[in-house]
Amino acid sequence: MKTKYLIIGNSAGGIGAAEAIREIDKLGIITIVGEEPFEAYSRPLISKYVAGEYTPETMRIRSEKFYENNNIDVVMGHKAYKMDTAAKTVTLDDGTEIEYQKLLIATGGKPIVPKMEGMGKAGIFNFITLSDAKKVEEYLPNVRRAVVIGGGLIGISATEALVKRGIKCTVVEMKSYPLNTILDEPAGRIAEMAIKKYGVNMMTGRTVARILGEDKVTGVVYDDGHEMVCDMVVVAVGVFPRIELAQAAGITVNRGIVVDNHMMTSVQDVYACGDASEAYDYVYGSGRLSPVWPNAYIGGRVAGYNMAGSPTRYRGGTAMNSLNYFGLEMATAGMASPPSPEGYEVLKSEGPGSYRKLVINSEDKLVGMIFLGDIDKAGVYFGLMRDRIPVTAFKKKLLSDDFGLAQLPKEVIEERLTGATAGRVKIGEA
């Protein structure tokens, strides 16, 4: 089997790449290989599926005729397990060998599963894919109480879904407060209070040492020896980049697959994007993992343009989230806290049920933000961060209640409104 463009991964990055390729090359054969037996869907919505608010059809990120309309060959339900970059071939789990001219690795992440005694029983689930969510949903008739291991983004989204289905939940978080990868401690405490209001039991500073039961889950034992009865365990500790395919092929990897500012790996004609890649983060000024949906899509588009012969640079991304968990609106980006007190300035504003924090570096540029409660203007601040605009002239106004575009200097407003940061330039530049 031969193709011009081979994309391994049928999610945000892969779809972004395919769309970009088709903008440049209308005829070249595109083949997408997806491990799951589903058309491209929004993975952030799997909790909504378990909650009964979405169906697989309403979770689609493109129409059911997307592949047909864009002349894309799609292979679903199969995994790429071997890659030969010299021969330019990829072998699938059914033995199919695909010969390519350009390759994109958009394999995403895999769940981190800590070592615990008692794994392998019925009632233990990950919560990364729609396949995981379907298994959870099917098991719910057997469940009254659940333990969610991990109080990060995945764990809290799974917990909210289970609570909406009437399940009594306990969240076990090793750190001292939930959502600690995107929130600082004061914000984490506000989030913890919001979660507890819905009857969730928060066990912070703890881990699960053992899962009880013969063939199915009946409870857990914490690291302090305390036991708790439950019918389900959701393991939501985090996600690790799926780098095995690239690593075995001799492609340079660090924590993720290392890419340059064209999203190309260390091997010519092989690109990577999304959760599996380590791309430029403009906040830290270096390559970092950034497992968020928008960055995967934009990185995929940049890769697609370059694969199709249209030189395009990735301007960089950073961790960013706009969420609503347990009735609490949250918007975060960049650094939750500066790595050291030297060279950074922190601005804060707190009120009942609200919290705003900005982190500013020595160049007077925003490098971090946390907004809880009222997040209506978070987009303005994120724009300043993304476009690396110095805030020197209006720093004292940043956290005023009336701050907005109108408070920005005239030249900044003109730059933002004339489209200087719009369109293709937002994605990259040649």
Taking only the tens place, the pLDDT of each residue in 101-135 is 999 999 999 999 888 999 999 999 999 999 999 99
pLDDT at residue 79, rounded to an integer: 95
More confident residue, 136 or 415: 136
Report the DSSP pairing between strands 320-325 and 257-258: unpaired
For 219-247, the pLDDT digits (tens) are 999 999 999 999 999 999 999 999 999 99
Q: What is the CATH number of domain 327-422?
A: 3.30.390.30
Across the range 350-371, mean pLDDT stands at: 93
Instruction: Please state, in angstroms and rounded to a whole number, the distance separating the CA atoms of residues 132 and 284.
Output: 33
More confident residue, 411 or 149: 149
Across the range 210-220, mean pLDDT stands at: 97
Please name the residues in contact with 65: beta carbons below 8 A apart, sequence gap of 6 or more: none
Report the DSSP pairing between strands 208-212 and 219-222: antiparallel
Of 266, 212, 224, 226, whose CA–CA distance to 243 is shortest?
A: 266
- Residue 354 φ then ψ, to 5°: -135, 155
- Using DSSP, state whether 280 is helix, strand or coil: strand
**What are the distances in angstroms from CA 326 to CA 36, 184, 185, 375?**
30, 18, 18, 15
Phi-psi sector, 343: left (phi>0), alpha (psi -120 to 50), beta: left
Report the DSSP pairing between strands 145-149 and 168-173: parallel
Confidence of residue 33 (pLDDT cuts 50, 70, 90): very high
| Positive/negative CA dihedral, 76, 82, 88, 92 | negative
| For the chain, percent of residues with pLDDT exceeding 70 | 94
Q: What is the CATH number of domain 5-109+241-307?
A: 3.50.50.60
Instruction: Please state, in angstroms and rounded to a whole number, the distance separating the CA atoms of residues 424 and 430.
Output: 10
For 51-64, the pLDDT digits (tens) are 999 999 999 999 98
Return the CATH fold of 124-237: FAD/NAD(P)-binding domain (3.50.50)
Phi-psi sector, 238: left (phi>0), alpha (psi -120 to 50), beta: left
pLDDT at residue 403, rounded to an integer: 81
- Asked whether the predicted pLDDT for residue 416 surpasses 70, the reply is no
Which of 23-37, 55-69, 282-296, 408-422 comes out lowest in average pLDDT? 408-422
Cα distance between the two ends of the chain: 33
Residue type, 11: S
Assigned token pair, 249: 């092929």
HSE-CB for 198 with a 13 A CA cutoff: 24
Confidence of residue 291 (pLDDT cuts 50, 70, 90): confident
Check if the beta carbon of residue 319 is closer than 8 Å to that of residue 165: no
Tell me, rounded to whole angstroms, the distance of Cα 158 from its chain centroid: 15
Of 182, 191, 127, whose CA–CA distance to 324 is shortest?
A: 191
Greatest mean pLDDT among 32-41, 343-352, 415-424 = 32-41
Which residue is listed with tokens 């924590």?
Answer: 255
- Residue 8 φ then ψ, to 5°: -100, 105
Whole-prediction pTM: 0.91
Residue 32 pairs in a beta bridge with 7, 74
Check if the beta carbon of residue 109 is closer than 8 Å to that of residue 275: yes
5-109+241-307 and 124-237, same CATH topology = yes
**What are the distances in angstroms from CA 120 to CA 74, 117, 124, 213?**
33, 9, 7, 10
Across the range 382-410, mean pLDDT stands at: 83
- Domain positions in the chain are 5-109+241-307, 124-237, 327-422
For 75-107, the pLDDT digits (tens) are 999 999 999 999 999 999 999 999 999 999 999
